[in-house]
Each structure stands twice: as C-alpha cells, then as structure tokens.
Copies of this chain bind each other. A is one copy, B any other.
Amino acid sequence: MTLLLAVKALTQENRDFLAQYDIDVVTPDTVTDDQLSEVVISYAWDNTIGNKILSLPNTKLKWIQAQSAGVDYLPLPLLAKRGITVTNASGLKALPIAQTVLGYLLYFARGLNVYATRTHWEPFTDQYLISELPVLVFGTGRIGQQIAHHIKAFGGKVYGVNTSGRPVAGFDETFPITDYQAGLAKAQVVVDGLPGTKNTENFFDDHFFAQFNQLFLFINIGRGTTLNQSALLEAIDDSRVKYAALDVTTPEPLPHDHPLFERPQILLTQHTSWGENINAGRVGGLFRLFEKNVPSFMKDQTFIQNVVDLNKGY
C-alpha cells in the first residue's frame, strides 16, 4: 500500500485508477498525524501541510507532483538532499497562457487599450498588425513554443532565447542567453517567460531596459522575481518602453497603492493568465499529466516526463 496526499481534488475515476496500483488516498482535511509520515506522494503541494511532512524525521515522501510549471515556491535544496523527486505541470497551462499573451499583443496592437477607457468620440489609429511587431520570447519551453505557434499563425515573426541558443521548432531563430542582444535588435515586443531561479533573478534590470529606444511592449508571464519592477517603471515613464503587460509581480498580491497600478500603460492580470472555463478540465488536466508517471514510479520509482532538475530549478 502506497499513501497519496491529494492536495487537489480527485475524481472517482482518478481514485479508481490509483486503486489499480494499490495507492490509497488521504486528503489534508482527514489525514491523521500518524498517516502524514506515511505519505509517499503529494499530489499538488501546499506549503503548510507539505512543510509539516518534511519536518517529520521518518517521512516517506518520495514524489511531489506540482500543480504549476514554475516550482520556485518549493524548498528545492532540501528536496534534493532528501532525494525527493518533483514533477511539474509544464505544458498544462501553455495553451491558456499563450492565448493571454496573444490577447496582450492584440490589446495594445489594435488600440483596444485606448478604447477600453475612452468615453468620448476620438478615433485612435496608431495601430499595428501582428506582422508589424516581431516578438522575442525569453524561454523556449512549452509556453514559449505555444506563443510562437500562435504568432506564426498570424503571419508574425518570433524569436527565442534559451540557454544554449539551440533551435526550437516554431521559432524563426533562437539565440543563446549570453547573446540575447542579437535577438533584441530584431524585436519590438519582449516576452519574459523565464523560470524563477537564482540565475534569472533581476535579469530584466535597468541595464536591460537601458538598451531600448522605444520598445512597443514588455510582457512578463514568467516569474515576478526575474523583473526589476522599478527599472520597468522608469523605462515606462521615460517612454523607452511604451506598454507593459504583467501577469506575475513581486509581491503577489500587490498592495493597492503600488505604482504598477497607477500607470495607464501597464496591464496587470494578477497571475490569472492560466485561466480557462472548464474547472473540471483544470483538475483533470493535472491528473492526466500525473498519471503518466504512475506506472513507472510504482514499478521502480522512475519517471517518464516532467521531472524538475532541482539544481536548475525548472
């Protein structure tokens, strides 16, 4: 018998699947203290109960299935030391996040940002086609690839930045992060899709924004920690960056009097770029990712997909 802690809800169908592998399910509401140390799998992660498990000397925890693509909220060094595997939800939210990014692009490109608050007749025609706004995406994983796919479908140009500059399907060209400037020279829109790691902290700082004369749009759907928000605000106020759309910020929630709320050039979507209508689909989607690793994990504690490199952090 293997014990699974279901931090996210499971359907009866999910439970039937787990029963085939002799996996028993407990939930945060009903789990006893004795059971906590027996938990082998955490299906989704909650810091309160999760840290309680990790503090137990005799914890049997071996596998955490994160509910998100980014896992910077997990105690990764501790997990590495303990030999606990983390699988992430990379790919699960790629489609909704990419649609939000295309929404941002068209919102500013088609002038909807102006009309959203205009209450008198004053036509605004400083508009763009997607093909007139080449995009550079930092991060060429599943979210970046989905963004590239949509931009290509509109006849646009899209460039990527990753660690090595290796080519990635769907991008017109890719650049290594050590030479991202070559990509920047081609772009009018920058998408920050970087994971939250030590290496990416404050990557988009005042030196980065100093490179622009007038960037049309800066987007952050990566992690708030990758962006120096004060540097962005200065660039917006100096018109070095015309518009910005931020899904992630530091902190979250932002205090009500935060200057990011005060700039009409900035759209804040409050970490909801992943939203879709079918709630059942959200839960089911995570399980469909998770269940692919169950047979190999139960056989010999190996995994076939979505394993996080705990040193890299993604």
Query: Which A residues form the contact surface with B (CB < 8 A)?
Result: 95-96, 99-100, 102-104, 106-107, 109-113, 115-130, 132, 150, 153-154, 252-256, 261-262, 267-273, 275-278
Of the candidates B109, B123, B273, B275, the one whose C-beta lies within 8 Å of that of A99 is B109
Chain B residue numbers with a CB within 8 Å of A102 are 102, 106
Cα–Cα distance between A3 and B109 once the two chains are bound (Å): 39
> Are A277 and B128 in contact, with the CB atoms below 8 A?
yes
A110 to B252, CA, bound (A): 19
Q: Are B275 and A122 in contact (CB under 8 A)?
A: no
Q: Tell whether, in the assembled complex, residue A111 and residue B275 are in contact, meaning their CB atoms are under 8 Å apart.
A: yes
Known contacts A254-B121, A271-B123; is-contact A276 B128 (Cβ 8 Å): yes
Contact B112 A154, beta carbon cutoff 8 Å: no
Given A107-B103, A112-B103, A261-B119, check contact A127 B277 (CB 8 Å).
Answer: yes
Q: Would you mind naming 27 contact pairs between A and B with Cβ atoms under 8 Å apart?
A: A96-B129, A99-B106, A99-B110, A99-B129, A100-B110, A102-B106, A103-B106, A103-B112, A106-B106, A111-B275, A115-B267, A116-B117, A118-B268, A119-B256, A119-B261, A119-B262, A120-B261, A121-B270, A122-B270, A123-B270, A124-B272, A125-B272, A126-B277, A127-B272, A127-B277, A132-B276, A132-B277
A284 to chain B, nearest CB (A): 14
Chain B residues positioned under 8 Å from A150 (CB to CB): 153-154
Measured between alpha carbons, how far is A107 from B275 in the docked complex, in Å?
13
Q: How many copies does the complex hold?
A: 2
Picked from B107, B121, B124, B278, the residue with its CB within 8 Å of the CB of A132 is B278
A107 neighbours in B (Cβ, 8 Å): 103, 106-107, 112, 116
Q: In the complex, A126→B278 CA distance in Å?
A: 10
Q: A118-B270, A129-B276 are in contact. List 8 more A-B contacts (CB 8 A).
A: A95-B129, A99-B110, A102-B106, A110-B273, A120-B261, A122-B270, A127-B275, A132-B278
Partner of A276, one of B100, B127, B255: B127
A113 to B96, CA, bound (A): 16
Residues of B within 8 A of A122 (CB): 270
Chain B residues positioned under 8 Å from A110 (CB to CB): 99-100, 103, 269, 273, 275
